[in-house]
């Protein structure tokens, strides 16, 4: 099922951890519509600008999967509102700057350890446009607001 021109439900729900653990990672209709909005309003415009594929490393997560991967209990991934992405050939800071410069309706973008970008969009509106940086120290993930 296509969520937008270049993004499918399968790529926004596939999970190696779920497959290894025999877990179902299937969003309900509300979560699918949230994923569609994320794709149409944020990911698809970004892809059109960069003129190259965007790799989704994590999209929707069931509550069980989210717990298993150590996600935040209130993660927007569980609502279908978030994806972790990599844009081949671009570093995370450049991806975030482009998202900001395009004035895309994002709730949060997080530079996750300078390895991937977490981007979220709230269907209900009130997208905060919050920009954070994540890093680890002594086994703990820390966040700092950068914009």
Task: Express each pLDDT in 3-38 by its tens digit.
Answer: 999 999 999 999 999 999 999 999 999 999 999 999
Query: Count of CB atoms within 10 A of residue 3's CB?
Result: 23
Domain ranges of the chain: 9-145
Q: Has residue 147 got a pLDDT over 80?
A: no
Predicted confidence band of residue 62 (pLDDT cuts 50, 70, 90): very high
Which CATH code is given to the segment(s) 9-145?
A: 3.30.1380.10
If you search the block for the tokens 């190696």, which residue do you land on? 16
Tell me if 18 sits within 8 A of 24, measured CB to CB: yes
- Calpha distance 15→61 (Å, rounded): 8
If you average pLDDT over every residue of the chain, what do you get? 96
Task: Express each pLDDT in 104-137 by its tens digit.
Answer: 999 999 999 999 999 999 999 899 999 999 999 9
């Amino acid at each position: 099922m296509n969520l937008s021109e270049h993004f499918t439900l399968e790529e926004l729900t596939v999970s190696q951890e779920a497959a290894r653990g025999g877990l179902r990672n299937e969003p309900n209709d509300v979560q699918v519509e949230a994923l569609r909005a994320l794709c149409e309003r944020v990911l698809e415009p970004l892809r059109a600008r960069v003129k190259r594929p965007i790799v989704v490393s994590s999209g929707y997560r069931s509550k069980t999967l989210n717990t298993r991967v150590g996600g935040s209990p209130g993660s927007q991934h569980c609502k279908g509102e978030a994806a972790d992405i990599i844009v081949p050939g671009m570093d995370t800071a450049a991806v975030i700057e482009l998202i900001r410069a395009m004035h895309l309706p994002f709730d949060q973008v997080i530079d996750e350890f300078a390895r991937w970008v977490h981007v979220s969009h709230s269907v209900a509106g009130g997208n905060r446009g919050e920009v954070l940086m994540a890093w680890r120290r002594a086994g703990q993930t820390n966040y700092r607001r950068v914009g």
